[in-house]
Amino acid sequence: MAIVQISRITNRTGLQEDLPQLDGGELGWAVDSRRLYIGNGTVDEGAPVVGNTEILTEFSDITVLSDYTYEDIVVGYAAQTGPTSSDPVIRSVQAKLDDQASVRDFGATGDGSTDDTAAINHALFQLFCRDNSSLTRRSLFFPAGTYKITAAIKIPPYAKIFGEGADSTIIRLDSASPPTYMVQFADSQQQTESNIGTNGATAPQNIEISSVTFSCAQATNILQVAAASRCWFNSVNFLGPYTVANLQAVSFAPDGANDYAAVRFYNKSGSGPAPVLTCQDITFNLCRFSGLAKAIDTDIQVTGINVTNCTLQTLYYGIALGRGTISGTGPSGFRVLHNRFDAIFAQAVIFDDCNLNISAYNLYQDVADQISVAPYSPVITFGNDNNISVGDMFVRSDSDVTVGASAQPRISITGSATDSGSGIQLGHYGRARGRILDMIDGGTNQTIVQVNINQISGFVMDYFLSRGTVTRVGYFRVIAGSADGSTENLTWTDDFSEIASTQVTLTATRSGDLVTLFYTATLTGTAPSIKYSLSYLN
């Protein structure tokens, strides 16, 4: 094309806000923003529109200057994003990039040496606390790396945190003075514990964390789930510093100086008009717990906690509920399902002063034997009725399950003598969990079990009784009629077979709706023991 005219290029300088309409080909330089513009010219001169066009420099905001339309070009053609192919949905590049945030956008490095505590907490505040609108919430991405922290990370309501895999994204506490908790749930103003929900703040809820590792170089509690509801942990590692040698050390104190857990719970007490905030509906799935005294430990009123498809290993205890001073009604509704327990020094599961909890279809490997030393405790301990084990599998051999004072059964039931619930309920047929009772040599009218017959008219106790080398197998049947206040109707029979006389007599009495089974054992120098289970129709 022939050049028909060369004109002298003029230019203007000034502030960005004072930029005028430039003549065609005229340059304008904004000195404050360091951005360069050129005038389009008029439509008569051939310009498509009148205005100024920015010339790209190192200070130009290309995310504003560029548009984005989803195309999915991998399949070979552009996806239709709008109502027609000629009317696509167009967004700015900035809007596209803001669909999710990276913790590195807020200054975290993930290099393993820089302290990223402040950057992580700042990102959580900006994304989930700065504004109550759901429009400001963005998933917070942790690219692969090790993020060193020296103080607690505060997780607010509605936070969604995800990494690039539990062994790729690691948040690691490394501090000479570690906090009580490495990670704490906080409210929408990042207030914790007793301050949660004050000043009009929203309590922790709907929190999702996935594909990351929480690791502590110094022994401390890893996670405090506080006053929270509807939260999920998926493919998350909770790793402490304890080794097998630590757990086996004579000086190791799992309930004292070394009492650190991967997960503990905290409830907010109500005062005045403020409601009580309790933890409920929390799920841990495909997680790993290792290197601490306990994986999960709580005595407070929590419900609907699910631990599924997880690995629990290199721990002193696995899951310990209700072992201390109970708060409220205590922990209930724990569902421990489809997990693998391995290298656990003592009990893998303890449901002590609590009820309505279940262990089901778990694999218990090197458990309750001081980690491959000798049988040390039961694998599972129930301290109350209405806790249950269904379909659990145990590597512990039959030779480890002995009778008497040294008994270390797979499942031990040690709580109330009142059997108020069944282990299996199929329609009207119920069967209680098996129990073991060490009897007293020479004991007279000692209670074996008490049964409330308010909803049933009778029951059968299947039992196996042993005294030294002498054994006895029997069926103790109880039939109860209606009580009129003065006469307590009760009929019972004890059908059994034994090699030689065990010199133990079983009897039953009734008081109102409560039937008590007693034993009397003649003094022989050898204490008897009984294993039994109840079945009934209601």
pLDDT: is 435 or 532 the higher one?
532
Q: In this prediction, what percent of the chain has a pLDDT beyond 70?
A: 89
Residue 331: half-sphere exposure toward Cβ, Cα within 13 Å: 30
Least confident segment among 37-51, 78-92, 147-161: 78-92
Q: What pLDDT, on the 0 to 100 scale, is given for residue 519?
A: 97
- Region 306-327 average pLDDT: 96
Least confident segment among 143-147, 374-378, 496-500: 374-378
Q: Are 387 and 417 in contact (CB under 8 A)?
A: no
Beta strands 280-285; 229-239: pairing state: parallel
Least confident segment among 27-41, 46-60, 64-78, 468-482: 64-78
- Does residue 73 sit in helix, strand or coil? helix
Place of tokens 């290309």: 62
Alpha carbon distance 1, 12 (integer Å): 29
- Region 360-378 average pLDDT: 93
| Cβ burial, residue 405 (10 Å; 0-12/13-18/19+) | exposed
Q: What pLDDT, on the 0 to 100 scale, is given for residue 420?
A: 44
235-248 pLDDT, tens digit per residue, is 999 999 999 999 99
∠ Cα 136 105 234 (to 5°): 70
Q: Is the pLDDT of residue 12 over 70?
A: yes
Q: What pLDDT, on the 0 to 100 scale, is given for residue 487?
A: 58
| Cβ burial, residue 226 (10 Å; 0-12/13-18/19+) | buried
Which of 52-56, 94-98, 181-185, 378-382 is most confident?
181-185
pLDDT bracket for residue 483 (50, 70, 90): low
HEC assignment per residue over 126-171: HHHCCCCCHHHCCCEEECCEEEEECCCEEECCCCEEEECCCCCEEE
Name residues whose C-beta falls within 8 Å of residue 228's C-beta, 6 or more positions apart in sequence.
185, 203, 204, 205, 207, 279, 282
Q: Are 274 and 197 in contact (CB under 8 A)?
A: yes
Q: What pLDDT, on the 0 to 100 scale, is given for residue 106?
A: 95
Encoding tokens for residue 214? 């929480």
pLDDT bracket for residue 417 (50, 70, 90): very low
pLDDT: is 56 or 169 the higher one?
169
The CATH H-level (homologous superfamily) assignment of domain 100-241 is: Single-stranded right-handed beta-helix, Pectin lyase-like (2.160.20.10)
pLDDT bracket for residue 421 (50, 70, 90): very low
Encoding tokens for residue 272? 């005045």
Encoding tokens for residue 531? 């294993």
Question: What beta strand segments (E) does 392-488 contain?
Answer: 393-394, 411-413, 424-426, 429-431, 435-438, 446-452, 458-467, 470-479
Place of tokens 């019972």: 492
- Region 321-340 average pLDDT: 94
pLDDT bracket for residue 89 (50, 70, 90): confident
Look at the domain 425-537 and name its fold.
Immunoglobulin-like (2.60.40)
CA 264, 205, 214, 129 torsion-angle sign? negative
- Does residue 379 sit in helix, strand or coil? coil
Q: Is the pLDDT of residue 430 over 80?
A: no
- Region 313-341 average pLDDT: 95
Alpha carbon distance 325, 416 (integer Å): 17
User: What is the identity of the amino acid at 517?
Assistant: L
Q: Which of 319, 340, 437, 336 is nearest to 394 (CA)?
A: 340
Q: Are 261 and 292 in contact (CB under 8 A)?
A: yes
Mean pLDDT rounded to a whole number for the chain: 88
Alpha carbon distance 354, 19 (integer Å): 73
| Domain chopping of the chain, boundaries | 1-59, 100-241, 276-416, 425-537
pLDDT bracket for residue 225 (50, 70, 90): very high
Containing H/E element for 97? helix 93-97
435-455 pLDDT, tens digit per residue, is 888 999 999 999 998 887 876
Alpha carbon distance 289, 280 (integer Å): 20
pLDDT bracket for residue 405 (50, 70, 90): very low
Alpha carbon distance 423, 390 (integer Å): 8
Q: Are 134 and 181 in contact (CB under 8 A)?
A: no
180-195 pLDDT, tens digit per residue, is 999 999 999 999 999 9
Helices (H) and strands (E) in the chain, counts: 4, 43
Q: Is the pLDDT of residue 404 over 50?
A: no
262-291 pLDDT, tens digit per residue, is 999 999 876 554 557 899 999 999 999 999
Name residues whose C-beta falls within 8 Å of residue 76's C-beta, 6 or more positions apart in sequence.
none
Q: Which of 162, 208, 210 is nearest to 185 (CA)?
A: 208
Alpha carbon distance 479, 453 (integer Å): 10
Q: Are 294 and 254 in contact (CB under 8 A)?
A: yes
Alpha carbon distance 233, 227 (integer Å): 16
- Region 505-516 average pLDDT: 90
Q: Are 498 and 472 in contact (CB under 8 A)?
A: yes
pLDDT bracket for residue 6 (50, 70, 90): low
Q: What pLDDT, on the 0 to 100 scale, is given for residue 401?
A: 59
- Region 139-162 average pLDDT: 97
In total, the chain counts a number of residues equal to 538
